[in-house]
Amino acid sequence: MGDLRSAPLPPVGRDDHVRGPAAAPLVVVYGDYECPYCAALELQLHGLAVRIAFRHFPVKGTHPRAFAAACAAEAAAEQGAFWPMHDALFADQGRLEDPHLWARAERLGLDVARFDADRRADAAAARVKAQFLGGVRAGVPTTPTLFLDGVRHPGRPDDALLGRLANLAVRSRV
């Protein structure tokens, strides 16, 4: 990827992992599975009933297992289990070594051999890297970084932003 100059947030598309009520406000989250603040944000957003598009932003220096964990989530997605793996990764961030990833796959009922091949495949790494570089271009400087209505909110969201999300989520239900 040559050009990494500033660019708008990549639009949410078919390659994205999205969940939440269709009418709820859409939040794009750049995070990594080894980042404790990202795990905390997940819980906060769950409680707010927003629609979430999660994108990978693994940074090896800070979180050496983040890239492998992101590839594991993408491999699970090949078997229709992105979100269960996503939740399982965030639920136990102290266990992200290979045997822990296999154990998760097994627990989720995945074909573990296929999962293991997929998470090591170039395609998974390419998807993760593409999301990371798209985030770099959109100005993501850290994890978590959250985009609401295209506006960037780097770092842990403050009470004002969480309150705004809560209000939007409530309004989407009435």
Residue 14 interacting with other proteins (CB under 8 A):
no
Residue 126 interacting with other proteins (CB under 8 A):
no
Q: Which is nearer to other proteins, 21 or 36 (CB)?
A: 36
Which residues have a Cβ under 8 Å from the Cβ of 91 and sit 6 or more positions away?
A: 39
C-alpha 137/C-alpha 81 separation (Å) is 28
Residue 10 interacting with other proteins (CB under 8 A):
no
Residue 73 interacting with other proteins (CB under 8 A):
no
Residue 154 has phi, psi (to 5 degrees) of -75, 150
Q: Which is nearer to other proteins, 7 or 91 (CB)?
A: 7
In the list 8, 47, 141, 163, the residue contacting other proteins (rule: CB under 8 A) is 141
In the list 155, 158, 170, 171, the residue contacting other proteins (rule: CB under 8 A) is 155
User: What residue type is assigned to position 63 of the chain?
Assistant: H
Residue 5 interacting with other proteins (CB under 8 A):
yes
Closest CA to 168 of 144, 148, 154: 148
In the list 17, 95, 120, 137, the residue contacting other proteins (rule: CB under 8 A) is 137
Residue 140 interacting with other proteins (CB under 8 A):
yes
C-alpha 90/C-alpha 101 separation (Å) is 12
What are the angstrom distances between the C-alpha of 87 and each of 24, 44, 90, 127, 140? 20, 13, 5, 19, 22
**Residue 74 C-beta: closest distance to other proteins, Å:** 18
Q: Which residues bind other proteins (CB under 8 A)?
A: 1-7, 59-62, 64, 132-133, 136-143, 154-155
